[in-house]
Amino acid sequence: MAIRRTTKTVLAAAAALALLPGLAACGAGGQSVADACELIQGGNASLQSSMSELSTAMTSGDTEALSEQVSAINDEVAALGEKVTNEEVAPVYEKFAGAFGDLTTQIEGMGELDMTDTEAMTKVSEDMTAASTALTEAEGELREVCGA
């Protein structure tokens, strides 16, 4: 049950990334909002592929592969964030990246969870729901600032 819910949460994270294409708006000075949003859109394809690999690692039960994939995804999200310098977009992307990192940390922790510990499973489920909600809210803010 928890693995099914976790898989749904990973898919929700992937869906949040899938909603990022087409982000563009006008901005002034330095990196424009449109340029920043275009960078985010460009990084989306690679992240989508990584999320697919994460889903595979989750279902395989290979905790080492899961940990490696979580780390790789968080590195991709962070690297993309370093390229986003627009004053309006950068803090919103940072919030998105933080929420995404929180969710992937929760996913990674699933590998160490005793599936027979009902109390622990409930806590993890609640934490995953909170992390997923935060990611969805951050994604909405990012879409709003990018005018999508």
The b/e string for 86-100 (b: 16+ C-beta within 10 A; e otherwise) is: bebbbebbebbbebb
Q: With a threshold of 0.75, does the pTM exceed it?
A: no
Contacts of 73 (CB under 8 A, 6+ apart): 47, 50, 51, 54, 100, 104
pLDDT category at 85 given cuts 50, 70, 90 is very high
The CA distance from 59 to 41, in Å, is 28
Give the amino acid at 64. E
Residue with structure tokens 């899938």? Answer: 18
Q: Alpha carbon of 134 to those of 13, 15, 31, 81: distances in Å? A: 11, 14, 27, 18
What is the per-residue pLDDT across 35-45, written as a single tens digit (0 to 9) for each? Answer: 999 998 888 77
